[in-house]
């Protein structure tokens, strides 16, 4: 199965090269589209506290990808649209399916083993969109290694963020805060979507994106996201769950 065929991209006729316009919040809807092109190999990270629609937005965005692997680490009300739910990474080799939700059984060690093998498989084969809804949790899972050392899954994640683009791998990661995770999650992401956050976290986020983001994210309403697209573009978006439209608030 050749996963490099995942060339489905979003289009946009409203790219804002001037950054965020603080004086305007009129609503413009783009059916099934995003305000910026999101191409295979371009990582995307969503930062928002629990309850602000992070997972719902990520699931909606993931529909634009055909070849995808979701690492599910906990029960969730969000229903991800994958073709097959599996409990072992070895089941990813089933050629007749293109999208998977990996939800391992057992304790942390069991989840670490399966997630590690899945991340390695994605890296080796290429072309996948790897979705990690809770990057903080997954990155801290670990496995016993040689010489009494411990292999943390953060190393697998960093390999995808820093070397995956040449293999047409896209990482979509979810964070509750822009701290305590690998810095590559934000610095290596072409697209960073952030919900409303406190001043300290806003400052931290701005250091890896743009100074404008520090102000923007502190002035968002619930369920709104500032979409930062490198090098300097920002748009405010909100997912309308009922209509399944991504509203661009310009």
One domain, residues 239 and 134: no
The answer to whether residue 244 sits within a structural domain is: yes
pLDDT for the residue 147: 65
Same domain, 63 and 178: yes
Q: 70, exposed or middle or buried, with CB in 10 Å at 0-12, 13-18, 19+?
A: buried
Assign residue 176 the CATH number of its domain: 3.40.50.300
Domain count, the chain: 2
Instruction: For residue 56, tell me if it sits in a domain.
Output: yes
- For the cut 60, the answer to whether the pLDDT of residue 8 exceeds it is no
Q: What region does 17 belong to: left with phi over 0, alpha with psi -120 to 50, or beta?
A: alpha
Note whether 70 and 139 are same-domain residues. Answer: yes
Residues 107 and 23 both lie in one domain: no
- Let me know whether 115 and 56 are in one domain: yes
Statement to judge: residues 154 and 73 lie in one domain: yes
4 part of a folded domain:
no
16 and 119 belong to one structural domain: no
27 and 50: one domain?
A: no
90 pLDDT above the threshold of 60: yes
State which of 162, 189, 216 marks the end of a domain.
189
| Residue 216 domain flag | yes
**Which of 189, 207, 230 marks a domain boundary?**
189
Q: How far apart are the first and last CA of the chain?
A: 41
Q: Are residues 15 and 64 in the same domain?
A: no
Provide the percentage of residues in the chain whose pLDDT is more than 70.
Answer: 86
pLDDT (tens digit, 9 = 90+) per residue, 11-33? 332 233 233 333 233 344 444 57
Question: 98 in a domain, yes or no?
Answer: yes
Residues 45-87: pLDDT tens digits?
999 999 899 999 999 999 999 999 999 988 878 889 889 999 9
pTM of the predicted protein model? 0.85
230: nearest Cα among 65, 10, 45, 67: 45
Last residue of a domain, one of 148, 173, 189: 189
**Residue 59 structural domain:** 43-189
Check residue 7 and give its pLDDT.
Answer: 44
The half-sphere exposure of 148 on its side-chain side, counting CA atoms within 13 A, is 0
The pLDDT value recorded for residue 148 is 60
The mean per-residue pLDDT over the stretch 169-185 comes to 96
**Residues 186-223: pLDDT tens digits?**
999 999 999 999 999 999 999 999 999 999 999 999 99
Q: Check residue 75 and give its pLDDT.
A: 80
Are residues 206 and 181 located together in one domain of the fold?
A: no
**Helices and strands counted in the chain (H then E):** 7, 13
User: d(Cα 169, Cα 6) in Å, to the nearest integer?
Assistant: 9
Instruction: Say if CB 183 and CB 190 are below 8 A apart.
Output: no
- Is pLDDT at 231 greater than 80 in this prediction? yes
Whether residue 5 is contained in a domain is answered as no
Q: Round to whole Å and give the CA distance between 190 and 44.
A: 6
Considering the domain architecture, whether residues 65 and 34 belong to the same structural domain is answered as no
Average pLDDT score over the chain: 86
Q: Does 234 reside within a domain?
A: yes
Residues 118 and 160 reside in one and the same domain: yes
């Amino acid at each position: 199965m050749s996963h490099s065929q995942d060339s489905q991209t979003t289009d946009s006729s409203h790219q804002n090269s001037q950054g965020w316009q603080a004086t305007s919040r009129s609503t413009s809807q783009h059916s099934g589209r995003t305000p910026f092109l999101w191409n295979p190999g371009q990582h995307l990270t969503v930062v928002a506290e629990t309850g602000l629609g992070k997972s719902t937005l990520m699931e909606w965005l993931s529909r634009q990808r055909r070849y995808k692997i979701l690492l599910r680490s906990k029960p969730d009300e969000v229903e991800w649209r994958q073709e097959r739910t599996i409990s072992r990474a070895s089941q990813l080799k089933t050629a007749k399916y293109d999208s998977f939700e990996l939800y391992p059984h057992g304790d942390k060690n069991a989840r670490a083993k399966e997630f590690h093998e899945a991340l390695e498989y994605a890296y080796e084969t290429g072309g996948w969109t790897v979705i990690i809804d809770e990057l903080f949790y997954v990155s801290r899972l670990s496995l016993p290694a040689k010489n009494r050392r411990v292999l943390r899954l953060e190393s697998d994640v960093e390999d995808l963020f820093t070397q995956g683009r040449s293999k047409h791998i896209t990482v979509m990661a979810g964070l509750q805060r822009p701290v305590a995770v690998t810095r590559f999650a934000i610095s290596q992401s072409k697209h960073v979507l952030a919900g409303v956050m406190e001043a300290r976290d806003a400052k931290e986020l701005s250091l890896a994106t743009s100074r404008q983001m520090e102000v923007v994210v502190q002035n968002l309403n619930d369920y709104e996201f500032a979409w930062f697209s490198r090098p300097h573009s920002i748009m405010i978006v909100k997912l309308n769950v009922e209509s399944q439209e991504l509203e661009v608030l310009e």
